[in-house]
Structure 1
Amino acid sequence: MKIVGVAACTAGIAHTYIAREKLMKGAQARGHEIHVETQGTIGIENKLIQEQIQSADLVILAVDIKIGGEERFKNKKIVRVPTATVIKAPVQFMEKVEKELSVSK
């Protein structure tokens, strides 16, 4: 599965980057292709490009705040979770997402 995502915490520092790393590791461990941008105190990093968004099967928003540019994901399947969810159990989170997606097909 191709996944894009955004990670953003309230302070925009540590949890943002930890969530990005864990989300990427969890998805890769399950065999998925993933690209994740961060939105924090220093702005947007690893900004998603339109081609990545268009080819994505799923958008994961690991966010604790309102993010900018959410309209880019219009007409995409979106899973929204707090950063703590992907930080604590990234592989289990991905397994749950996979299960929910297979049920909704």
Structure 2
Amino acid sequence: MKIVGVAACTVGIAHTYIAQEKLQNAGKKAGHDIAIETQGTIGTESELTEQQIAEADIVIIAADVKISGRERFDGKRIIEVPTEIAVKSPNKLVEKAVEVVNQQK
């Protein structure tokens, strides 16, 4: 399964990058292709490509603030959670993403 997402916390420093790392590790551990963009105080990093978004089965938005470029995900299945969920329960979040995709097949 292909997962893309965005991590963004209110300050745009610690939780943004922790959420990104935990989600990527959880996704890879579960055998998925995962890419997480960060949006923080220094701007957007690891920006998702149009191809990554087009090929994605689901989008995970782990954010405590409004993200920029959300319209890129129009028409995609989206799970939206606070960064705290991605930080504390990344494996469960990835499992939930798989459930959502499998329910809609």
Q: 1:75 aligns to what? A: 75
Q: CA RMSD in A?
A: 1.0
Distance in 1, matches of 2:6 and 2:88, equals: 17
| Counterpart for residue 43 of structure 1 | 43
Deviations 1:54-95 (A, max 9, x none): 111111101110010000011111110111101101112212
Secondary structure of 1:25 counterpart: helix
Q: Which moved more, 1:85-94 or 1:34-43?
A: 85-94
Q: How does 1:17-56 map to 2 (within 5 A)?
A: 17-56=17-56
Consecutive aligned runs of 4 or more in structure 1 exceeding 6 Å deviation: none
* Paired amino acid for 1:94: V
Which structure 2 segments of 5+ residues have no match? none
Q: How many residues align?
A: 105
CA distance in 2, matches of 1:100, 1:52: 19
Q: Give 2:98's aligned residue.
A: 98
Look up the match of 1:15. 15
Question: For residue 64 of structure 2, what is the aligned residue in structure 1?
Answer: 64
Measure how far apart 1:99 and its partner are.
2.4
5+ residue gaps, structure 1, are none
- What is the aligned-residue identity percentage? 54
1:73 maps to a residue whose letter is: F
Contact 2:62 2:80 in 1 (8 A): yes
The letter of the residue matching 1:39 is Q
TM-score normalised by the chain length of structure 2:
0.94
The residue matched to 1:98 in structure 2 has which SS? helix
Within 2, Cα distance between the matches of 1:69 and 1:17? Answer: 19
